[in-house]
Amino acid sequence: MSDSYYNRPEVSNSDLTQLKWMLHPATRPTFADGRNKAFHLGTLVDALVTEPEKANHLTLTIDGEAYTPEEWQWGKEMRKALRREAEKDAFVSMVLRTAETQRVMTAHRRMQYRGFEFELDCRCKWDWWLGAFGGDLKTTAATTQEQFDEAVDFMDWDRSRAYYMDIAASDRDFIIAISKTNYKIFKKFITRGDEVYTRGVEKYTELAFRWWAMN
């Protein structure tokens, strides 16, 4: 069963990523097995944590997408690591207990790129929404906080967080990531105007302008 969110007409951060890959093919990940395994496994963890009703533990499927027993067990270990973190981290605990999950937002936004003003209908879907701000759940190959901080730029997670913040007009944001290697939990807190937010705005504004110009 497909998610109707992806059929909406507004522009999402994922749309901007596809545009970036089209404009700069060398930045597009390649996968020997012909599929995006990172996305495949990320979908599993996302569902187990934020949409458990989608997880069929008998057929090992998420919305019809099948997983091996080893992948399923790995996903459960990732979720367990996050729950262990919540036992000692008050913020993570609060997010898991109180956040609204998979909240869809849209906004008609006016933007400016190199002095040129344009408008775009934008959309996003929050993993976690806390009322005044929200955040994102990620899986990461990083094994240290330093590596994770570098991944925020390399993976364009700064772009996605700035895009979401501006759709919601929120002043704060966060990423909680689970290491796929050692199950460590990494956190990144973002504030409007800081380095990560500013870098993200620069990234998404250029792509949004190119999207607008092409459409």
Mean pLDDT confidence for 118-134: 98
The pair of structure tokens assigned to 38 is 């990172």
Average pLDDT of every residue of the chain:
95
What is the share, in percent, of the chain residues with pLDDT greater than 70? Answer: 96
The pair of structure tokens assigned to 144 is 């240290």
Question: pLDDT at position 152, please?
Answer: 98
Alpha helices in the chain (DSSP H): 13-23, 37-50, 69-88, 90-98, 145-154, 157-168, 195-214
With a cut of 90, say whether residue 33 has pLDDT above it: no
Instruction: Tell me which CATH code domain 7-25+88-214 carries.
Output: 3.90.320.10
With a cut of 90, say whether residue 107 has pLDDT above it: yes
Question: pLDDT at position 34, please?
Answer: 42
CA distances from 198 to 28, 153, 158, 161 (A): 24, 12, 9, 10
Do the Cβ atoms of 123 and 10 come closer than 8 Å? yes
Mean pLDDT confidence for 93-115: 98
With a cut of 60, say whether residue 1 has pLDDT above it: no
